[in-house]
Amino acid sequence: MGRSPCCEKAHTNKGAWTKEEDDRLVAYIRAHGEGCWRSLPKAAGLLRCGKSCRLRWINYLRPDLKRGNFSQQEDELIIKLHSLLGNKWSLIAGRLPGRTDNEIKNYWNTHIRRKLVSRGIDPTTHRPMNEASASQQSKEESREKCPDLNLDLRINPPLQNGHE
């Protein structure tokens, strides 16, 4: 069994938020705080589900959100953090005040990834692209030079009295 649905789908708005809905959500949160997202829509007079209200607030309406383009320093920090943390967007966002994890993920996928590829850098490993293929090629060459060398490592139980 799972959690019950967050809302009655038949009585909720979907799609773009109106200015009036945004204003109601902001006014309610200013007056009452972020509390329980499941009960917030009804209390605020919104025909939205709690999840939709939470995401709208976190990603678009919070007053501490940074608006506009990413700076060069933010780009460099995202690249450094991604090389250390991988696709852990919420951890990366924690180091970029005013930016959301979703915003950073979208920015990575639409801008930074392409920038790295155009520079010849693999966006997954953060190494030069030709280095990855050279490494694979050297492994294949070493197999050709020593075909009887088995590099498959296995953990076996200890030998008993020198016998297997």
Q: Is 36 left (phi over 0), alpha (psi -120 to 50) or beta?
A: beta
Burial class (CB in 10 A: 0-12, 13-18, 19+), 49: buried
Instruction: Look at the domain 68-149 and name its fold.
Output: Arc Repressor Mutant, subunit A (1.10.10)
| Span 98-127, average pLDDT | 94
Please say if the pLDDT value at position 122 is more than 70: yes
Write the DSSP assignment of 65-105 as a string of letters. ---SPPPHHHHHHHHHHHHHH-S-HHHHHTTSTT--HHHHH
Q: Say whether 68-149 and 9-61 share the same fold.
A: yes
pLDDT of residue 78: 96
**Sequence spans of domains, the chain:** 9-61, 68-149
**pLDDT higher for 2 or 57?**
57
Average pLDDT, the chain: 84
Q: Quick check: 144 pLDDT over 90?
A: no
Q: What is the pLDDT of residue 155?
A: 61
Match domain 9-61 to its CATH number in 1.10.3720.10, 1.10.1050.10, 3.90.650.10, 1.10.10.60: 1.10.10.60
> What average pLDDT does the segment 43-68 reach?
94
